[in-house]
Structure 1
Amino acid sequence: MTPLEFIKALRAEERLRESSKHVKERAAFIRDVLPYLGPAFLVSVGYMDPGNWGTDLEAGSRFGYHLLWVLFISNLMAILLQTMAARLGIVTGHTLAETCRLEFSRPVNLVLYIISEMAMMATDIAEFLGAAIGFNILLGIPMMFAAVLAAFAVIIILALYRFGYRIVEYVIIALVATIGLSYVVELFLAQPQLSYFVPSIFVPRLPAEGLYVAIGMLGATVMPHNLFLHSGVIQTRKSIMVNGVPIHESKKRLMRLATIDSFFALNSAWLVNSAILIMSAAVFFKEGIPITSIHEAHRTLTPLLGGLSSTVFAIALLSSGLSSSTTGTIAGQIVLDGFLNIKMNLWVRRIITILPALIVIYLGWDEIKVLVFSQVALSLALPFAVIPLIMFTHSKRLMGTHRSPLVIHWLAIASAALILFLNALLISEALGKL
């Protein structure tokens, strides 16, 4: 072997060692991250609930792909605020509701609790309605029977909690995966053209009469119960061990993992919402059919794309309703425990909160009006969750060296101000529809 060949062999061996080292580092990173993933996926369910479906279907059927950019901006704001909620839970060891109880007076807490509870009960009606419609479409049974069946299904999922929180997470992630796969099938059947919708993701265009639909999409982005939920479910990761060391001992590392979790989970929700809008635009807008209800969307899909499309649509809707109803119940318990320090079995809470939904279904209220009402309730409650969150995460006394950097703080203020302004317009418009 010549000296030159020897040097080349040494370099090749060195590159092989470096490559092996990088592979091991990546494997170790994935091994560390995987046990942590989960909390943000529970939160992401709220961004794919039946209320969002109604808005996305209407936006796509009326305005084509033009409002895809609204979903993109909404997702960026959601990642920002949800990550802040997770950071609060990690650093303080308390949920957003608990922090309110510790920092505010009793009368203020009572007001915050009542507002939050009413908003969650209202949105729970819409989420539960989605599950009931899913069973109604798939099994062809009356809505009341479908509602009772949906209630039992959610209670069964919550009952798995006794076997560990991770089991519930797996079920929710499976339901989220079902929604995602369903819309892969829907897009395959609809066959939208990339050149039509990709530019609309990044180039803002507001069609005539599209303002209030855009407000509805953006205004429903950050839901108050999701902020409470994220700050609570993040606590389940305190017991995770990495290299024999409790992960909560390194708050900086835990916050980094929470950011990764939020990034993947909320981007998944964004892709699903975008897929709903794209499918609606490719099928309904193309045919000149405006969609104003979920039932109408299902009925219209069958003649346009065939029975498989409408069945897959119903499966995705059922998965969305069941998963969002489950996480909504968990969020409700976090709020009750946090504000009032009252603990209640999840299945008991589910039975109590299901009564308003059953009454709504029994009375046969218009589903779109119910969805509009839930959006109004969420919009009214939003300031009472976002403003305390921004205050707490920038407090040096509460967060120490982990408080939000000035840039993040002002971005959050700007996002909150925009959401609140648009919510005010949304409320004004929505009340006119009721």
Structure 2
Amino acid sequence: MLDSSRPAVTARPDAPARGSVPVGARLVWLLGPALVAGVAYLDPGNVASNMTAGATFGFLLVWVVVLGNTMAWLIQYLSAKLGIVTGKSLPELLGEHIRAAWARRLFWLQAELVAMATDLAEIIGGAIALNLLFDLPLLLGGFVTGSVSMLVLLLQGSGRQKSFERVIISMLVIISLGFAAGVVIDPPSAASVAGGLVPRFEGPSSVLLAASILGATIMPHAIYAHSALTRDRFSVRSEGQTSRRLLWATRWDVTIALAIAGTVNLAILLLAATSLQGVAGTDTLEGAHAAIGQALGGVVATLFAIGLLASGLASTSVGAYAGAEIMHGLLRMRVPLVWRRIVTLVPALIILGVGVDPTWALIMSQVVLSFGIPFALVPLVWFSSRTTLLGEFRNRWYTTVAGVIASVLLVTLNVALLVLIFAGA
């Protein structure tokens, strides 16, 4: 759903001058923040959740992927708009409006747990990929993934925003090719896909996987990060630029990013539903990789593993960026990104070291993320609808209604999930 508000924002003075280059070139210069944030929608947790859903329930949860991606478009656009119009990130605005220090710390704690769950999924995913590609032990693979992500983070920490974006977007291309290859070679039937668009569940396990898919699709840290990415990209303003240009470009940015993410996520589920359903051992990424190799050949399996590796490396860098912004906005503390990376790397290495099933850890991390969604989404909808913050550029009434509906749906699913978990305990 498009929001027709048009905030008065401007572009950087080093942007191409209006009329000096074609419109397409000017648009390309403005793209980037959503593509970086969109990597969060293609992290190893997405792969594990969608692969398990397809292998276990076939096409049953196709509708969850589509619904999640539709809601994600609106959510990411609101986050980007908030950063552009106010010049502040969502965590910064939360830090300003939550007056009590104890309340800020509690809010930070839940957001920090979400960020750590994100890191957990991404480091474990990278470790699994390195094990599949090079037979590295999982603990060593996790250490390598974390170390490489530090190098990527150095670009952002040194202020080379465009270089950081180019690296992440390059990994996004690799991720897309790696995960989409299988479904291109062995496409599903159109009737089966259409049948999966009918909303329904089949028992508590399907609800658990639906919550996991939504937690992996609508990532709380992506909501926090996107407002910061647009703030950083367009923080320097000059005269002669119109608000229409930036928000128009932002809509394109979000649309392209979510179209890529949604297509790839759907491709993962369809690949599993078409080629892996009923195959023994596909409840783990290692087993799925082996099954893909047997069903579609070693080349497709290798591309899948490469996509998983790129997914872990790219998404863990974005997750660390979001975590640092959360701490800065809520606790008013700046911690170097590399130091943050070291601290959040420890829980993932511990889990890899003690021998917890990595695929199970990935799926459960996405469930944790689903519980963090309302804490990011509800304030986002509230802030973006306030005249005192956005003035004439606040949400239109229908945009706010759509945001409220998304919030209610997600909270309801999480409550149902809690009931099912404790009822079965």
Aligned residue number for residue 254 of structure 1 = 246
Greater gyration radius:
1
With over 3 angstroms needed to count, the CA separation of the structure-2 counterparts of 1:184 and 1:225, relative to structure 1, is closer
Q: Distance in 2 between matches of 1:65 and 1:225?
A: 28
With over 3 angstroms needed to count, the CA separation of the structure-2 counterparts of 1:174 and 1:200, relative to structure 1, is farther
| 1:237-276 equivalences in 2 (<5 Å) | 237-238=233-234, 245=239, 247=241, 250-276=242-268
Aligned residue number for residue 6 of structure 1 = none
The partner residue of 2:388 within 372, 388, 397 is: 397
Q: Distance in 1 between matches of 2:280 and 2:195?
A: 21
Which amino acid is 1:222 matched to? I
| 1:331-410 equivalences in 2 (<5 Å) | 331-410=322-401
Q: In the alignment, does 2:273 pair up with 1:278?
A: no
Q: In the alignment, does 2:163 pair up with 1:133?
A: no
* Structure 2: stretches of 5+ with no match in the other structure: 1-17
Which amino acid is 2:365 matched to? S
The partner residue of 1:426 within 414, 417, 420 is: 417
With over 3 angstroms needed to count, the CA separation of the structure-2 counterparts of 1:348 and 1:288, relative to structure 1, is closer
CA contact (8 A) 2:111 2:326 kept: yes
With over 3 angstroms needed to count, the CA separation of the structure-2 counterparts of 1:421 and 1:134, relative to structure 1, is same
Q: Deviations over 1:40-86 (max 9, x none)?
A: 11111111111111111112112322322221111110011111111
CA contact (8 A) 1:216 1:426 kept: no
| 1:303-322 equivalences in 2 (<5 Å) | 303-322=294-313
Which amino acid is 2:375 matched to? F
Aligned residue number for residue 43 of structure 1 = 37
Q: In the alignment, does 2:99 pair up with 1:108?
A: no
Aligned residue number for residue 200 of structure 2 = 206
Q: Deviations over 1:358-397 (max 9, x none)?
A: 1111111122332243123223322221111111111111
CA contact (8 A) 1:65 1:196 kept: no
Aligned residue number for residue 9 of structure 1 = none
The partner residue of 1:298 within 274, 281, 289 is: 289
Q: In the alignment, does 2:224 pair up with 1:232?
A: no
Aligned residue number for residue 167 of structure 2 = 171
CA contact (8 A) 2:79 2:90 kept: yes
Q: In the alignment, does 2:332 pair up with 1:330?
A: no
Q: Distance in 2 between matches of 1:431 and 1:53?
A: 26
Aligned residue number for residue 56 of structure 2 = 62
Deviation at 1:229, TM superposition (A): 0.2
Q: Distance in 2 between matches of 1:90 and 1:368?
A: 38
Q: Match of 1:380, SS?
A: helix
Please report the RMSD computed on the Cα atoms of aligned residues, expressed in angstroms: 2.3
Aligned residue number for residue 152 of structure 2 = 157
Aligned residue number for residue 177 of structure 2 = 181
Which amino acid is 1:97 matched to? P
With over 3 angstroms needed to count, the CA separation of the structure-2 counterparts of 1:382 and 1:30, relative to structure 1, is same
The partner residue of 1:223 within 219, 222, 234 is: 219
Deviation at 1:185, TM superposition (A): 2.2
Which amino acid is 2:250 matched to? A
Q: Distance in 2 between matches of 1:346 and 1:304?
A: 42
Aligned residue number for residue 5 of structure 1 = none
With over 3 angstroms needed to count, the CA separation of the structure-2 counterparts of 1:65 and 1:390, relative to structure 1, is same
Q: Deviations over 1:197-220 (max 9, x none)?
A: 55246x415363344433432344
Could you tell me the TM-score, scaled by structure 2's length? 0.89
Aligned residue number for residue 7 of structure 2 = none
Q: In the alignment, does 2:85 pair up with 1:86?
A: no
CA contact (8 A) 1:35 1:240 kept: no
With over 3 angstroms needed to count, the CA separation of the structure-2 counterparts of 1:433 and 1:311, relative to structure 1, is farther
Q: Distance in 1 between matches of 2:363 and 2:178?
A: 25
* Structure 1: stretches of 5+ with no match in the other structure: 1-23
Which amino acid is 1:291 matched to? T
Q: Deviations over 1:314-353 (max 9, x none)?
A: 1010011111100000001111111122112111111111
Which amino acid is 1:271 matched to? T
Q: Distance in 2 between matches of 1:182 and 1:373?
A: 24
Could you tell me the TM-score, scaled by structure 1's length? 0.87
